[in-house]
Amino acid sequence: MQTVLERTPPGIVVVPSLAGVWGRPHTGRPPLEVQMAALQAAFPFVDSVSHFAYAWQEPELERERRTCSGH
């Protein structure tokens, strides 16, 4: 994220994208809420994120989808 911000021209909004599953690690990644907390701690000015859903790859995980509103 730091490298991207350093190379982004002024006026361009950066929206980080996170991949994972709520409430548990997935394929070596921490749970989404842990990733979001770390991102907010390191870059408190970031006010939006994009979340990559694994549901299309793993349909059985579809029920685990949640909204990020308020984060």
pLDDT band at 9 (very low <50, low <70, confident <90, very high): very high
Structure tokens given for 48 = 């939006």
Angle CA(16)–CA(17)–CA(23) in degrees, nearest 5? Answer: 120
pLDDT in tens, 16-56: 999 888 888 988 889 989 999 999 999 999 999 987 666 56
Query: Is there a domain that residue 32 lies in?
Result: yes
Q: What is the pLDDT of residue 14?
A: 93
Are 16 and 39 spatial neighbours (Cβ–Cβ below 8 Å)? yes
| pLDDT beyond 50 at 69 | no
Q: Does 53 reside within a domain?
A: yes
Q: Is the pLDDT of residue 1 over 60?
A: yes
Residues of the domain holding 31: 15-64
- pTM here is 0.67
Domain for residue 38, yes or no?
Answer: yes
Q: Identify whether 50 is part of a domain.
A: yes
Give the count of domains, the chain. 1
